[in-house]
Amino acid sequence: MIEIIPAIDIIDGKCVRLTQGDYGTKKVYNEDPVEVAKMFESYGIRRLHTVDLDGAKSQHVVNYKTIEKIADHTSLVIDFGGGIKSDEDIDIAFSSGASLVTIGSVAVKNPDLFNKWLDRYGAEKIILGADVKNGLISINGWKEEGNDKLMPFLKRYTDKGIRNVLCTDISKDGMLQGPATELYKEIMAEFPDMHLIASGGVSSIDDLEALQNAGIPAVVFGKAIYEGKIKMEELSRFNA
C-alpha cells in the first residue's frame, strides 16, 4: 500500500501552494496550518510533509514555530524541509518537533556537511531531496539549477546509506496534470531498496492508484486536496 503524505507549504505562517516553485503564484489556502494538520489527522493520515518556503528563499529556517504548533496539537509524524543550511537550522527543525528532515541544497553544495548530519542523526531521520528539472538537480528553492544528474546524485548518497528520497519533478509541481510516474519507475528499477517519495503533479485518486501500481512506496501531494480534486474521504482506502 502506497504511503499517503499530504503537504503543508508555509509562508508567513500560513498554508499556501506555489506552482513550479514560483513565489509569484502564491495562493493562501488557510491562515492556520495547525487547523489543516488536525483535519488531515482526523481522516486517518499519519504523516505530514511540511515546507518552509520563507526558509527556502532566505537560506535559513524561518517558520519553525508553525512546526512546533503542529507537533503540539497532533500526533502526526512530521518531516520538515526548506532552509536547512546549517547545524543550527537542523537542530531547530528537530527540536521543533520534526521527526525527519528533507535536505536538498546542502547535499549538492556541501556534501561534507550533509555526510556529517548523516553520521550524527542517522540515515533513518534524513530524507534526501532530489528536485529535478531537465534531468538535473535544482537547489535553493528551485531558483538554481545544478550540474548534478539525477541518477549519479542518488547513487552517491545511497552508497552512503541514504534510503529515504523525496523526488519532485519540478515541471509537474502544482500543475495538476499527473505525476512523473515513468521517472519514478526508472528510479525504483535502479534502486529497488529505496523508500522513494514521489512528489509533483498528483491531480486525482487515479494518479495515486497508478503510482501504487507502479510500486512507488510513498507520495507527497497537496494542491489536489486544496483544490478539491481529491476528497479526503477517498483517501481512506490507502490508510487501511
pTM of the complete model: 0.94
Q: How many Cβ atoms from other residues are within 10 Å of residue 106's Cβ?
A: 21
Locus of grid cell 529505496: 194
Q: Output the pLDDT for position 21.
A: 85
pLDDT in tens, the chain (240 residues): 999 999 999 999 999 998 888 899 999 999 999 999 999 999 999 999 999 999 999 999 999 999 999 999 999 999 999 999 999 999 999 999 999 999 999 999 999 999 999 999 999 999 999 999 888 898 765 566 678 999 999 999 999 999 999 999 888 877 788 999 999 999 999 999 999 999 999 999 999 999 999 999 999 999 999 999 999 999 988 876
8 grid coordinates: 503543508
Q: Output the pLDDT for position 143.
A: 63
Q: Output the pLDDT for position 102.
A: 98
20 three-class SS: coil
Residues with active-site annotation: 9, 131
Q: Output the pLDDT for position 175.
A: 75
Counting Cβ atoms within 10 Å, is residue 138 exposed (0-12), middle (13-18) or buried (19+)? buried
pLDDT digits (tens, 9 = 90+) for 191-222: 999 999 999 999 999 999 999 999 999 999 99
Q: Output the pLDDT for position 172.
A: 83
Q: Output the pLDDT for position 20.
A: 83
Q: Are 165 and 128 in contact (CB under 8 A)?
A: yes
Domains and CATH numbers, the chain: 3-238 (3.20.20.70)
pLDDT digits (tens, 9 = 90+) for 37-59: 999 999 999 999 999 999 999 99
Q: Output the pLDDT for position 171.
A: 83
Between CA 190 and CA 188 the distance in angstroms is 5
The DSSP code for 9 is E
The DSSP code for 124 is G
